[in-house]
Amino acid sequence: MTDQVGQLPTGIAEMQAALQQQFAGVSDFILKTARLKCNGQPVLYAYLGVSVDEDKLIREVVQPLVLEADDMEQVRSLLESVQGGQLDRWEDILRGMWGGNALMYMDKEPIAYLLDTSSWPSPQIKEPENESSLKGARSGFTESNPTNLALLRHHLPGEQFVQKQIRTGPGGKIRVTMVYLPDKATPESVELLLDRINKIEVPSVLSMGELAEQLEDNSYSLFPQFLLTERPDVAAIGIAEGKIALLMGHSSQVLLAPMAFLSFFMSVDDRSMRWPVVTFFRLLRFVGLLIAIFLPSVYIATVSFHYEIIPIDLVLSVGKSLERVPVPPILEAFFMEFILEMLREASLRLPPKVGQSVGIVGGIVIGQAAVEAGIVSNVMVIVVALTAIASFIQPNQDMAAAVRLLRFPFMIAAYLMGMIGIVIGFMVLVCHIASMQSLRMPFGSPLFPIRLGKWSSVLARLPIGGFRRRKDSER
């Protein structure tokens, strides 16, 4: 046996035991032995099946060694022709295998050979429809667990993942794969998540959404506490930052935990664009968040209780648009919001080309007809349209859905108590976010608890050089 850093084992048996210990739980780890034709010396070869072209390995390396090579000179010449390097340190061997190379080791040799026989899977070159990107990767996860694991390794080459296969539920029918980096993920989060998975008692979990509901800290909250993604680059970024990934064989989604509230407003494009552009769009998303939640309620409170804060010229315009409307602003808002949600749902269920037409034409026709019929005012149509646009810019669909639902209680509070109701609702919302946890980590971090040193990296993106200097100063 050997340490994870240091010299190689000195024999086939020790090398085999060390590899089996290192890759325990890795479903596609393959280890085999053979004997050289020239002298009968035992050799060991090991690899990760999804990352290696097995046919090439057998055809170009194993068969010639076992059936053709007549002396050690031919053996070494053959290995050098397909090698990725001769290594004598354990950590280099592991890094090479995680990177897609096969390992070849001859008994009692002081070195091992890495063979460049990598063959990463070619996923369907289809970007997830719900997570489009301007500059990110154009591939997505599939419904094959080994393929998804290989995609993660491909995006993080050389990283030594811990991969655990977990069977849970009655009869062990639910199979979950946990992936994380041991030097990045916190042991407390790993143990807590593993414990929650083992305590699942439902007979089946058919989707990642169901799994997230079984594992989250607060099932009654509107806010998602775990991130569900179909993008390998998003999952790889999360793992590199210390998050834990969960995979299921029949799902094309990966669950990342723990998450913070503000993380749902980050986009994968943020890492591909210039920092001033990223900062602008990130701040725009936060402004859009406030508009999507508060604009309808602020309008209702203003025209119902606080019309004196509106400029005189605008008061006349708003009053003229309201004089033909027989219902209070709260009913106007609810009517338009429900129509908007129905159009959104209809556009999702219909074929893409038809759905887009229904959304655009339906919004224009219904909005204009409602104004002409005196059911709603012109200003309310503008308010609802701005609110919809603000909700569309949110990068995460689960969080965007929660934001859309939040505006309804705020509208009711505004109609009953005006601005005071909005302030009370805002305080309740802040307290709720501050009290939430994701795997017992503060969900509102770095806002709650307050960590001023991390605000700059959340609300804006610094230049790479500035980010490194800030990291060095924190040390």
* DSSP codes of every residue in 123-174: ------TTS--SSS-S----S-HHHHHHHHHHHSTT---EEEEEEESGGG-E
Helix (H, G, I), strand (E, B) or coil at 453: helix
- Name the residue among 114, 66, 57, 108 with its Cα closest to residue 90: 114
The answer to whether position 456 is within a domain reads no
Q: Domain range holding 41?
A: 12-115
Percentage of the chain surpassing pLDDT 90? 35
- Asked if residue 452 belongs to a domain, the reply is no
DSSP state of 51: G
Name residues whose C-beta falls within 8 Å of residue 365's C-beta, 6 or more positions apart in sequence: none
Whether residue 200 is found in the same domain as residue 224? yes
pLDDT in tens, 266-281: 988 888 888 888 889 9
Residue 451 lies in a domain: no
The conformation of residue 110, written as its DSSP 8-state character, comes to: S
Residue appearing with tokens 């569309």? 392
User: DSSP labels for 350-389?
Assistant: S-HHHHHHHHHHHHHHHHHHHHHTTSS-HHHHHHHHHHHH
Look up tokens 């290594």; give the residue.
Answer: 87
Residue 152: pLDDT over 80: yes
Beta-carbon count within 10 A of 55 CB: 10
- 333 touches 385 (CB < 8 A): no
228, 259, 290 - which closes a domain: 259
346 and 428 co-located in one domain? yes
Give the bridge partners for 229, in sequence order. Answer: 254
Residue 382 belongs to a domain: yes
Say whether pLDDT at 84 is over 70.
no
Query: What is the count of structural domains for the chain?
Result: 3
**pLDDT digit string (tens) for 404-448?**
999 999 999 999 999 999 999 999 999 999 999 999 999 998 888
Same domain, 228 and 286: no
Average pLDDT over residues 238-247: 94
Amino acid 373: pLDDT: 86
Residues 190 and 226 in one domain: yes
Q: Are 100 and 48 in the same domain?
A: yes
- 43 three-class SS: strand
Do 221 and 91 fall within a single domain? no
411 and 300 Cβ atoms separated by less than 8 Å: yes
Which residues make beta-bridge pairs with 104? 45, 113
Q: The pTM is what? A: 0.82
End-to-end CA distance of the chain: 36
pLDDT of 208 higher than 50: yes
- Statement to judge: residues 283 and 428 lie in one domain: yes
Contact predicate 109/76, CB 8 Å: no
pLDDT at residue number 298: 95
pLDDT tens-digit readout, 31-59: 999 888 888 888 899 998 888 888 888 88
Tell me how many degrees the CA angle 382-384-388 measures, rounded to the nearest 5: 115
Shared domain for 294 and 411, answered yes or no, is yes
Residues 412 and 285 in one domain: yes
Among 230, 259, 288, identify where a domain stops: 259
pLDDT band for position 473 (50/70/90)? very low
Q: What is the pLDDT of residue 470?
A: 47
Question: Phi then psi for 189, rounded to 5 degrees?
Answer: -65, -40
Are 299 and 203 in the same domain?
no
Element housing 30 (H / E): strand 29-35
- Which of 69-83, 251-265, 357-371, 437-451 has the largest mean confidence? 251-265
Q: Are residues 279 and 173 in the same domain?
A: no
Inter-helix orientation angle 275-304/378-392, to 10°: 150
Are 377 and 304 contained in the same domain? Answer: yes
Sheet with 112-115, edge to edge strand ranges: 29-35, 42-48, 102-106, 112-115, 83-87
51 within some domain:
yes
Please state, in angstroms and rounded to a whole number, the distance separating the CA atoms of residues 296 and 386.
9
- Is 122 part of a structural domain of the chain? no
Domain boundary among the residues 203, 231, 259 is at 259
pLDDT at 239: 94
Q: Which of 106-115, 183-192, 247-256 has the least mean pLDDT?
A: 106-115
203's CB contacts (< 8 A; 6+ apart) are 169, 170, 171, 173
Q: Which two tokens stand for residue 117?
A: 């026989």
The token duo for 146 is 């080994």
On whether residue 110 sits in a domain, the answer given is yes
pLDDT at 289 over 90: yes
Nearest to 230 by CA among 212, 210, 247, 213: 247
Please report whether residue 385 resides in a domain.
yes
Beta bridge mates, 44: 33, 105
Residue 6: its pLDDT value, please? 60
pLDDT at 468 over 60: no
- How far is residue 475's CA from residue 470's CA, in Å, rounded to a whole number? 9
Percent of the chain with pLDDT over 70: 93
Tokens read off for 141: 């996860």
Q: Which tens digits make up the pLDDT trace of 15-36? A: 999 998 888 878 788 999 988 8
User: What residues contact 242, with CB distance under 8 A and at least 6 apart?
Assistant: 180, 181, 184, 185, 186
Q: How far apart are CA 417 and CA 294, in angstroms?
A: 14
Question: 197 or 359: whose pLDDT is higher?
Answer: 197
